[in-house]
Amino acid sequence: MSEIRAPIGKQLDFSEPWSIFRVMADFVNGYDSLKDVGPSVTVFGSARTKRDHPYYKAAQKLGYMLAENGFNVITGGSAGIMEAANRGAYSSGKGKSIGLNIELPHEQASNAYLDLSLKFDYFFARKVMLVKYSYAYIIFPGGFGTMDELFEALTLVQTRKIFPIGIFLVGADYYKPLLDFIKSSMLGEKAISPADVDLIKLTDDLDEVVSFTKDHIDRRIKEMEEMGLTNLTDYARLKKFQEARRQRGI
């Protein structure tokens, strides 16, 4: 595993002027390290989930399935659900297992199943990297951090700041009350539109997650061709990924 740190690091203080350079270092480090990774899927979820929990086992299985289908798997790089997804991808060896960790007052260790590990000083810079290179976001049960990441992803898709992608809630029993609240209260008060609810896919079917994500890549390529965007780097990356899948029969 290679762990990459921003070159500025701890030698700078936290005064406001110097913080600008720390923020820049986070973004430069992330963009430079991830720009060539290829199509990826980001898995979110609790760091507290134990290894014998069904959600851990499901995340591990899904990480393996995604890697077997040629996707890189990106997580927050720590324990629990993040470790499980990385572990599954790492065991496949057919896609990179990537962890984007965060510096905390009490050290948050990276898990042992990473091909590439980055550490960030700022949550907001880390969140940009967690969503930028992914074509699906898979949200396993988690706490405040997981909810923050879920609604950040929903907001970005809702406001068309990123291309519409799959946002999956895995753990139907866990997330059904939240989805009921979104439908009854948020939609009921017209704080969101019916189309916004459709952005969320509640499922425990891991095959559905993988199948949708593969189909999404094909749809994205077709839309870029129809819009005359075949000169973009993203188009070339996706076509290469599509051709590699065809050669492997997946």
Mean pLDDT along residues 20-31: 89
What is the reported pTM?
0.88
Q: Report the residue count for the chain.
A: 250
15-19, 117-121, 173-177: which has the minimum mean pLDDT?
15-19
pLDDT greater than 60 at residue 19: yes
- Tell me what pLDDT residue 12 has: 46
Q: Which of 43-47, 133-137, 243-247 has maximum average pLDDT?
A: 43-47
Query: Is there a contact between 93 and 72 (Cβ–Cβ < 8 Å)?
Result: no
Of 84, 66, 67, the closest CA to residue 75 belongs to 84
DSSP H or E stretch at residue 210: helix 206-226
What letter does residue 11 receive in the DSSP assignment? G
Which CA distances in Å does 166 have to 59, 64, 139, 196, 205? 17, 18, 11, 13, 14
Confidence grade of residue 16 (pLDDT, cut at 50, 70, 90): low
Confidence grade of residue 13 (pLDDT, cut at 50, 70, 90): low
Mean pLDDT along residues 195-214: 94
Secondary structure of 62-105 in the HEC alphabet? HHHHHHHCCCEEEECCCCCHHHHHHHHHHHHCCCCEEEEEECCC
> Which three-class secondary structure state does DSSP give residue 200?
strand
pLDDT greater than 60 at residue 231: yes
Look at 240 and 126; give whichever has higher pLDDT.
126
> Which three-class secondary structure state does DSSP give residue 161?
coil
Tell me the per-residue pLDDT of 86-139, one tens digit each, with 9 for 90 and over.
999 999 988 999 999 987 766 578 999 999 999 998 899 999 999 988 989 999
Query: Is there a contact between 80 and 48 (Cβ–Cβ < 8 Å)?
Result: yes
Mean pLDDT along residues 6-12: 48
Domains of the chain: 2-206 (3.40.50.450)
- Tell me what pLDDT residue 197 has: 95
pLDDT greater than 90 at residue 6: no
